Structure 1
């Protein structure tokens, strides 16, 4: 545990971390992968190439330094990361490796500013935080064995493959031993382990997109093609082009802290706002919410560029027909000529405050949203501006997360969902 003096030393490094944080984390990852190449499989190389992972870790280190004397402020964010680590089977022996190269990077990047006292203080701080993660992850693994029947990776078989849109395909997966998969919590994700195009072991997270308790797990994968600045997805393209019914993948048990919590009372509206592939955890939540309370108002808003990229059209329309309390609305930001023409539930354009006010009937509701970071930042600011409490604004980032603009000074700065941060 850091001493009082060491805590003060760590806090004094905050200005340096603000200025040089990304330089430090870029150096750290390069050093880590050079000296400990086996840990590379725990990271998405596309996020490394884009710089998103380095930014996420820089934000996490800064947030920890800011809250080192008030760890309770980071409890939610720590749970997010611990769940992520468990999904990738991070083990206690990984933490000393990461700590060694993080401290070496501080010394090498900061030079004379990295005095012996600074290095000792950060070593104590890292050991304290690593101990928190190790203990929480040990508990998660024990819970997985007790409630889900396995921990780590186990083989599953693809029993069905279904195209959902021009760029999304769903795989239905069951345990290879013929048993039924244990029910997941709506919003959870699994990790898959497979060989990438170069024959290297790769792990990726995908939300479970069907109702909890179904006979198979469903993951729905967007093809990431890249565009020169944003790299394409090695694994997503292999899933689209190379996997078929009967093939096997290894899965780790469902994980994740972004799960549905039904608000009280039963007539309080739930609003789901999905951007693109961000629909995957939200459609699972919608199924669960309607099954639990069929009369609760559920407003589902799906934002996509155009109709060809819209997944789960028939499934959502079936829910709208089955549950009078379920209302479905679509926003096409770049609509094709015929997309939504004449349909009052369709907005040809970006989602605006007037749309939410009209579709919800006010602002009082519990909101879950998931999608591209710019969209989520805009929605979060919109909801904050109209008086929606932070506890009623719940979101998840795919990839290495950055804090939403409206929360930049909150614990969200440490969130890193769907990509490991400290290990």
Structure 2
């Protein structure tokens, strides 16, 4: 399915104007939609990202990127964007009828912001873009639901905390078991689940967490980091992690929690390509899941593990990471810490920020990244300078995916 030739010409002519205004459009769209459907803000959308404006920027970037790709087709990039969004939507239980709601209030906002510039021809072209994007996502999400053996949106099941393991001062691993005792579905190394919690004010909020254990029919493992409110380098305020903090403070052995089926397209491919796993902070979690799989299967390929953190004390899964690397036949690890305390730097433990310039990268290496967006963009730039093809660099972002616009 592609954009019609007539609409393509209109989009090409109006993309600069719409692109320039799309953050204003989405900033208006969300309040309109939430005023009419407060349950979406309360029970589905991430309230923290709404307050920071991150969700608006991510939606703006996705729509603008998708429209631009209709004018200058790039099939692999389109597939990446759509797959990333579809997996996130499936983990939330999004259904086709919700696209109708978004369409109504988004186009009201477009008309209000652009005014007379929205002629019938312009409206029809952008309407076509929206439904081309929406129908693509609806189809991909239907495939994901079907592959999981569930009806559209029916992704939630009750789990109980079997064990709670402290990984660092601010990070805890929950070992989750099915309440009904039924075998858990399989998942691929690197995938995640959504966790939905009912907060004290009655809102149901949802967040995603990587599966960190080796695939098992009897338990899933997720790691959760408590996130305090903080002031960002630009002076703006980042709110405390609403769901993560709630889980960290309130979820203990024997407690039940609502967890989605596994989704996510940052998955370890079953081939013999050399691997480079690069993470920072709690971004280590999908890598831990991948390394558990590699260690369990005795994978013989070369694996380089690079991790950056504030200090060894704040490095979640630090001991497990070292143990997993030792279990993999041809694996090596480098770690960077901003503060080493009294520990000495060495050949594989370094003081300062991650520096990949001296790291050997074998031809054909597949790279997996997870961490804060600035970290990943910096690593990607270094990798590109080292002649690593862009299609060999894979990433995971939790929260709104502004890589779409930045990448």
TM above 0.5, one fold? yes
**Compared CA separation, residues 342 and 119, structure 1 to 2 (3 A):** closer
Report matched runs for 1:122-201 at 5 Å.
Answer: 122-145=126-149, 151-201=154-204
Task: Kindly indicate whether residue 44 of structure 2 is the aligned counterpart of residue 42 of structure 1.
Answer: yes
Output the CA distance in 2 between the equivalents of 1:323 and 1:396. Answer: 23
Paired position in structure 2 for 1:291: 296
Output the CA distance in 2 between the equivalents of 1:352 and 1:158. Answer: 38
Of stretches 299-308 and 379-388 in structure 1, the one that deviates more from structure 2 is: 299-308
Paired position in structure 1 for 2:234: none
Paired position in structure 2 for 1:98: 102
Report matched runs for 1:385-400 at 5 Å.
Answer: 385-400=385-400
Alignment length (residue pairs):
397
Report matched runs for 1:304-343 at 5 Å.
Answer: 304-332=309-337, 334-339=338-343, 341-343=344-346
Deviation at 1:392, TM superposition (A): 1.7
Output the CA distance in 2 between the equivalents of 1:289 and 1:36. Answer: 45
Deviation at 1:364, TM superposition (A): 5.4
Paired position in structure 2 for 1:115: 119
Paired position in structure 1 for 2:53: 51
Given that 1:363 and 1:386 are in contact with CA atoms closer than 8 Å, whether structure 2 keeps it comes out as no
**SS of match in other structure, 2:238:** coil
Deviation at 1:82, TM superposition (A): 0.9
Given that 2:178 and 2:218 are in contact with CA atoms closer than 8 Å, whether structure 1 keeps it comes out as no
Paired position in structure 2 for 1:8: 9
Q: Deviations over 1:16-67 (max 9, x none)?
A: 1332121111111111111122222221111111111111111111112112
Deviation at 1:275, TM superposition (A): 0.5
Task: Give 5+ residue unaligned stretches, structure 2.
Answer: 232-236
**Compared CA separation, residues 227 and 195, structure 1 to 2 (3 A):** same
Paired position in structure 2 for 1:78: 82
Deviation at 1:2, TM superposition (A): 5.2
**SS of match in other structure, 2:94:** coil
**Compared CA separation, residues 342 and 82, structure 1 to 2 (3 A):** closer
Output the CA distance in 2 between the equivalents of 1:293 and 1:171. Answer: 26
Deviation at 1:214, TM superposition (A): 6.2
Given that 2:27 and 2:56 are in contact with CA atoms closer than 8 Å, whether structure 1 keeps it comes out as yes
Paired position in structure 2 for 1:406: none
Deviation at 1:244, TM superposition (A): 0.7
Given that 2:226 and 2:248 are in contact with CA atoms closer than 8 Å, whether structure 1 keeps it comes out as yes
Deviation at 1:376, TM superposition (A): 0.4
TM score, norm. by length of structure 1: 0.88
Task: Give 5+ residue unaligned stretches, structure 1.
Answer: 404-411, 416-423
Q: Deviations over 1:348-401 (max 9, x none)?
A: 1111134423xx5x5652211110011101100000001011122111112111
Of stretches 320-329 and 378-387 in structure 1, the one that deviates more from structure 2 is: 320-329
Deviation at 1:215, TM superposition (A): 3.4
Given that 1:77 and 1:414 are in contact with CA atoms closer than 8 Å, whether structure 2 keeps it comes out as no
Paired position in structure 1 for 2:240: 232
Deviation at 1:342, TM superposition (A): 4.9
Output the CA distance in 1 between the equivalents of 2:167 and 2:269. Answer: 27
RMSD of aligned alpha carbons: 2.1
Of stretches 174-183 and 102-111 in structure 1, the one that deviates more from structure 2 is: 174-183
Q: Deviations over 1:220-252 (max 9, x none)?
A: 111111214111111111111111111111111
Deviation at 1:71, TM superposition (A): 7.2
**Compared CA separation, residues 337 and 105, structure 1 to 2 (3 A):** same
Paired position in structure 1 for 2:23: 22
**SS of match in other structure, 1:13:** helix
